C-alpha cells in the first residue's frame, strides 16, 4: 500500500485549488494554466524560468494523469524555490569555510619522512 503524505490543505487552497482540473493541451491552455499557477504561487522569479519548471513537472507525471489539482503545482513551485534558496545558502557557507581554510593550509607545516627515516618540517 502506498501512503500519500502530501497535504494540500493549506490556507485558501482547501477548496477550489484542490479540485482536479484538466492539464493543459496546446500553447494557449498552457499559458493560461501556467499564468494562474504562477500568480497563486507568489514566487518572485522570471516567468519563463517558472514555466520551464512547470513544464518539467508536467513531463514527470504518470501516463494516466490528465487531471491534477492546481495546489499540487503551486506547492511544488514553492518547494522548488525553497530548495533553490537552501542550496544557495549552503553554497555560500561552504565557500566561506573554504576561504577560511585556505590561509590556514598555506601556513601549516607538515612532517614528512626523509630517506633516512627521520622526520623533517616542511612548508606545504
Burial class of 53 by CB neighbour count within 10 A (0 to 12, 13 to 18, 19+): buried
Helix, strand, coil abundance in the chain, percent, nearest 5: 60, 15, 30
The CA distances from residue 7 to 14, 74, 82, in Å, are 10, 12, 17
Instruction: Quickly state the pLDDT bin for 120 (edges 50, 70, 90).
Output: low
Tens digits of per-residue pLDDT, 66-115?
999 999 999 999 999 999 999 999 999 999 998 888 776 666 656 555 56
Specify the pLDDT at position 100: 86
Q: What is the percentage of the chain residues whose pLDDT exceeds 90? A: 63
In the chain, where the domains are located: 11-123
Amino acid at each position: 500500500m502506498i501512503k500519500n503524505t502530501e497535504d494540500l490543505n493549506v490556507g485558501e487552497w482547501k477548496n477550489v485549488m484542490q479540485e482536479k482540473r484538466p492539464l493543459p493541451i496546446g500553447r494557449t491552455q498552457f499559458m493560461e494554466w501556467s499564468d494562474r499557477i504562477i500568480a497563486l504561487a507568489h514566487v518572485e522569479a522570471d516567468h519563463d524560468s517558472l514555466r520551464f519548471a512547470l513544464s518539467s513537472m508536467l513531463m514527470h507525471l504518470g501516463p494516466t494523469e490528465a487531471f491534477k489539482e492546481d495546489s499540487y503545482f503551486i506547492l511544488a513551485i514553492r518547494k522548488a524555490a525553497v530548495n533553490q534558496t537552501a542550496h544557495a545558502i549552503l553554497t555560500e557557507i561552504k565557500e566561506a569555510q573554504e576561504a577560511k581554510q585556505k590561509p590556514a593550509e598555506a601556513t601549516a607545516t607538515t612532517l614528512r619522512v626523509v630517506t633516512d627515516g627521520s622526520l623533517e618540517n616542511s612548508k606545504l
